[in-house]
Amino acid sequence: MSGLTFSTIELLLASGLILASAGLSLLLSLGIHRALLVAGLRMSVQLLLVGLVLRFIFESGSPWLTLALLVVMLTAASYEVGARQKFRLSGGWHFALSGAAVSTATIVVAAFALSTLASTADWTAPRVVIPIAGIVLGTAMSATSVALNALLDGIVAARNGIEAQLALGHSRSEALRPMLRKAIHAGSIPVINQMAGAGIITLPGIMSGQILAGQDPLIAAQSQIYLMFLLSGAAIASIVIAIYIAMLRLTDDRHRLRLDRLKAHP
Amino acid sequence: MAMGNHLVATGLAGHAVGPIDFTVEGGQCLAVTGKSGSGKSLLLRMVADLMPHQGSCSLDGALASAMPAPQWRQLVRYVAAEPGWWTHMVEDHFSDPAFFAAQAKQLGLASSLGRAAPERLSTGERQRAAILRAIEHQPKVLLLDEPSSALDEASTLKLEALIRALMQEGLAVILVSHNPDQVARLATKRLTIGETP
């Protein structure tokens, strides 16, 4: 394969774009230069580290190292789901709920994917398991984060209407159904848009990456299709699990709205 | 005159309110008074089982905790001081949308308001619409939290006439009101809470 690679000089040249953007921010007092530079630096360090770690794990071929890395990824994703939300479930529930949703969806979908790959590749190899789990996890994480945010904001905003329904003798699932639907909708739109626009509006990342690395475009497209199905499945599963656990936690068996189990984050 | 609809509250307590005991039965209006912040709304919400609490409530001997909460709240209905709305038109908040139009006039509401969005109504119109919504399925007990705080004199009297008529048919009422004249007109018994013993 005549893959395209990028040397240190090329990376430094590309970083000039970030520096130019930061300069623009200074010039126009946009106030984003610091965040932009920190994020750019963080991204570079993180990715280079991951590259090194992955190279090490791939060379070792150890299933235990692979497993350990997956656990670290799942833990980080569980934390990230709730990291920038205005409202969170109190008492460790936020982390537990995010972890349950994202991990279950990722493990089920990744296991399904890897078992369907069993005939064509060595599916236990770290270089197969880790990228698949990683991309599935990332999508499940952001979809769940958006959905959970929509649910908690929505419930807090519609609190009086929900309580009025409960007071009239509606059940908790009747009273919260519109909120659940809105939240699931909000979380799944990006994934659906991504599928609908794939190839026409954007060339998806995996496909672009494979083409740049020298792969035949049709084969690259097939990998992208395969992954898109996995991503959508994982995102929807994770959203639904998270939303239902949150709904149960924010109500109780006497059909009360339990916003006392929610805390606001400044 | 025994009208049934006998609500008994025993040791109701929670969130620094209570313990409180009282009884009220069909045809009676129990007025709950006490300073702002003494927990009058909390008490009503505990009776409706809308918040966790200690103690128990029963209606004609049947414990709230022994039946599904939605069933209890169909018998014992709470109307909040600022009632909530959840869908596009006022009449869609009723099981039978025609109920609003049929009943609106007796509270001085235009029946056309049924097809308006709740946020287009004035606070007082929403208060009255919420009372109609609460009585649609003939509850046994009505828990009214400041039902006429945004009403003028004439509308207040119309509302009281409706409540009195329902009491004559056997409704029991627990009323939280800051209006001493209203308490004097409606109450058949009183409960003062928040006094330190």
* Residue pLDDT, tens place only, A76-88: 999 888 777 889 9
Amino acid at A241: I
SS3 assignment, position B136: coil
Q: Is B152 a residue whose pLDDT tops 80?
A: yes
Q: Using the beta-carbon criterion (under 8 Å), do A163 and B68 form an inter-chain contact?
A: no
Look up the domain containing B183 and give its range: 7-81+127-192
Q: Tell me, yes or no, whether B173 lies in a domain.
A: yes
Sorted by where each begins, the domain ranges of chain A are: 1-60, 62-264
Q: Which residues of A touch B84 (CB under 8 A)?
A: 158-165
Ramachandran angles phi, psi of A5, nearest 5°: -125, 160
Establish if B42 touches chain A: CB-CB under 8 angstroms.
no
Lowest mean pLDDT of A43-52, A90-99, A119-128, B116-125, name the range: A119-128
- B134 with B77: CB under 8 angstroms? yes
**C-alpha of A250 from chain center:** 23
When divided into structural domains, chain B yields a total of 1
- Residue among A161, A169, A252 whose CB faces B73 most closely: A169
Establish if B56 touches chain A: CB-CB under 8 angstroms.
no
- Stretch B5-11: mean pLDDT: 92
Interface list for chain A against chain B, based on CB atoms closer than 8 Å: 158-171, 175, 178, 252, 254-257
pLDDT at A1: 45
Q: Which residues of B touch A159 (CB under 8 A)?
A: 84
Reported as a single tens digit per residue, the pLDDT across B19-61 is 999 999 999 999 999 888 888 999 999 999 999 999 999 999 9
Q: Is B160 a residue whose pLDDT tops 80?
A: yes
pLDDT at A212: 87
A237 CA: distance to closest CA in chain B (Å): 28
Question: How many CA atoms within 13 Å lie on the side-chain side of B30?
Answer: 23
Q: Using the beta-carbon criterion (under 8 Å), do A163 and B49 form an inter-chain contact?
A: no
pLDDT at B119: 93
pLDDT at A116: 81
B110 CA: distance to closest CA in chain A (Å): 23
Reported as a single tens digit per residue, the pLDDT across A133-166 is 888 999 999 999 999 999 999 999 999 999 999 9
A246 CA: distance to closest CA in chain B (Å): 18
Give A120's pLDDT tier (boundaries 50, 70, 90): low
Q: Which residues, listed in sequence order, are joined to residue B56 by a DSSP beta bridge?
A: B10
- CB burial class (10 A; 0-12, 13-18, 19+) of residue A13? exposed
A160: nearest CA partner in chain B: B84
Using CA atoms, how far apart are residues A73 and A133, in angstroms rounded to an integer? 9
Q: Tell me, yes or no, whether B99 lies in a domain.
A: no
Supply the ipTM of this predicted assembly.
0.93
Q: Tell me, yes or no, whether B98 lies in a domain.
A: no
Q: Tell me, yes or no, whether B93 lies in a domain.
A: no
Q: Using the beta-carbon criterion (under 8 Å), do B80 and A162 form an inter-chain contact?
A: no
B55: CATH: 3.40.50.300
Give B1's pLDDT tier (boundaries 50, 70, 90): very low
Q: Tell me, yes or no, whether B27 lies in a domain.
A: yes
